[in-house]
Amino acid sequence: MKDTFTKSMSWLHTWASLLLGWLLFFIFLTGTLGYFQKEITQWMKPELPISVNKFTQQELVQIAMNHLKKEAPSSKKWLIKLPNSRENILSVTWSHVRKDKATAMGGHGGGRGKRTTHIINPHTKEIVKPRRTGGGGLLYRMHYRLHYVNARTVGRYIVGIASMLMLIGLITGIIIHLRKILKDFFTFRQDRNLHSWLDGHIFTSVLALPFHLMITYSGLAFFVFTYMPLTALANYDGDMRNYIQEAFPREKAIKIQGIKEPLASIEQMRKNAEAYFGSPIKSISIINQGDSSAIVNFTRENSTLFSSEKADKVYFSGIDGKMIENQSPNRPKATRARDILTGLHRGDFANIYARWLYFLSGVLGTFMIATGLVIWTKKREAKQKDTLGFKLVDNLNMVTIAGLPIAVAVYFWANRLIPIDVPKRAMQEADAMFIAWLAVSVFVFSVNSRKMWVVLFYLSATLYALLPISNFFLTGRHLAITIAQGDWTLVWMDLMLFFTGLAFWYTGHKVQKKISS
């Protein structure tokens, strides 16, 4: 440690940030992409029908009900998912439940059987079978589970350690710059090497500082029961099952009565639920259909921070269509507090504008980590340039900051190029991503030249810019079609990929000029 408090904090800030800085870059980048995971998934399934949102909810529900009555008339659990602001998909799911088992009101729980899901094209009423892909959800899960490791233990604990170091780095950074934080924020010394990197690091840190603190702390709270199980074990005499049942109570289960009764009008219930919510319906779950115990629940999109998914449900009797008492269980205050932090972290409540704010704040966080890693090498370049430690950190910076975007681009290209009928196709997409990242790593460490920054940035630019163009030849879902048919999710995805390519080209051009000068 150092001889003054500020110097001690500076030392702690440097090493807490560096030790797992490359992993934190991976976490922030994949987590930031996760804010648009549903849009990414839709782009990665070009077989999905276009212009589903041109149908009214009444028409879509009728199409879904007709399909369920035809395909699964004896099933006791039906689920209809309707298109919403983020997913332009109509799907139905059903499962066969043993008659001696109760069914949870929410459509989950005891007696769960094999499930079948069909995506329906409302234009043709036919089943759509999109390509198997990890989609945006895979990238999102990587940011807290990693990949190729045990997701429930090893991956989450590694991410937890990295998040704690991130929190330490943020707090010590605030302490270091506390006295002159406004001055540092409004200072930018262009083309002054180390000072420019330092100014960029401070700017990206301060601009979204509340977000960085919230996202790191709430990320730790997300898995607080995983990271701190001893408290629960001590208070529940080691009975984790009893603890989980109390902390996360399930919805009341309903037993099948065995008395056949037809369903009341789903459309009338839908209208009543829509009036109750004051917003469109996201999904409809029909439990014990065809039985006198039938229950229908309607769910809306999460619209507020202080309401979980369960609180956004309304229940109706399936026989007379009357609204019944809300059967969602009361969750303990500690669990509800955690739910609020979880909602903040995931941005479930966010509309399109708030989601873009989340995304841009995540981008700033990713830049903050990247500039911090570069600053470490810039400070030591003059004296330690030829040392093994310096070369290791410098190459790891290249592999992570410039190499990971290439790996993500390859993931998107794999989605387009891997044949649709290949077994374990989604896994192969992920494998392609990490194989590409490994190839970049081998290349960087073999060449061991700072010029590799330029090569990697230009390669990223090429891969991203060509992705929208590839749709003309590989999917038929190119901009001319998606704009004409008003599928703005695919339009914005293609435009974002193209402009990402331009951004990497500009970065490569600037770095090339800097190295040449």
Q: What average pLDDT score do residues 430-456 get? A: 94
Q: How many CB atoms lie within 10 A of CB 193?
A: 11
Distance, CA of 81 to CA of 93 (rounded, Å): 8
Higher pLDDT, 327 or 196: 196
Pairing of strands 77-81, 253-254: unpaired
pLDDT of residue 444: 95
Helix (H, G, I), strand (E, B) or coil at 80: strand
Choose from 258-262, 271-275, 361-365 the range with maximum mean pLDDT: 361-365
d(CA 12, CA 169): 7
pLDDT tens for 341-386 read: 888 898 878 888 899 999 999 999 999 999 999 988 888 887 887 7
pTM of structure = 0.89
CB contact set of 409 (below 8 Å; sequence gap of 6+): 460, 463, 464, 467
Q: Which of 69-78, 209-218, 473-482 has the lowest mean pLDDT?
A: 473-482
Give, for 316, the enclosing helix (H) or strand (E): strand 313-317
Q: Beta strand 77-81 with 91-95: parallel, antiparallel or unpaired? A: antiparallel
**Residue 210 half-sphere exposure toward CB, CA atoms < 13 A:** 3
Q: What is the pLDDT of residues 89-126, one digit of tens each?
A: 999 999 865 555 555 555 444 445 688 999 999 999 99
Map residue 371 onto helix, strand or coil.
helix
Distance between CA atoms of residues 86 and 73, nearest Å: 30
Q: How far apart are CA 232 and CA 235, in angstroms?
A: 5
Say if residue 236's pLDDT is above 80: no
When pLDDT is averaged across residues 241-248 and rounded to a whole number, the result is 75
| DSSP for 124-153, written as a single string | TTEEE-PPP--HHHHHHHHHHH-SSS-III
CA separation, residue 37 to residues 32, 41, 87 (Å): 9, 6, 10
Q: How far apart are CA 464 and CA 500, in angstroms?
A: 6
User: Using an 8 Å Cβ cutoff, are 42 and 154 in contact?
Assistant: no
Q: Which pLDDT belongs to residue 483?
A: 87
With a CB cutoff of 8 Å and minimum separation 6, the contacts of 467 are 409, 412, 413, 416, 494, 497, 498, 501
Q: For residue 417, give the amino acid letter.
A: L
Q: Output the pLDDT for position 463.
A: 97
Residue type for 366, please?
T
365, 216 in Cβ contact below 8 A?
A: no
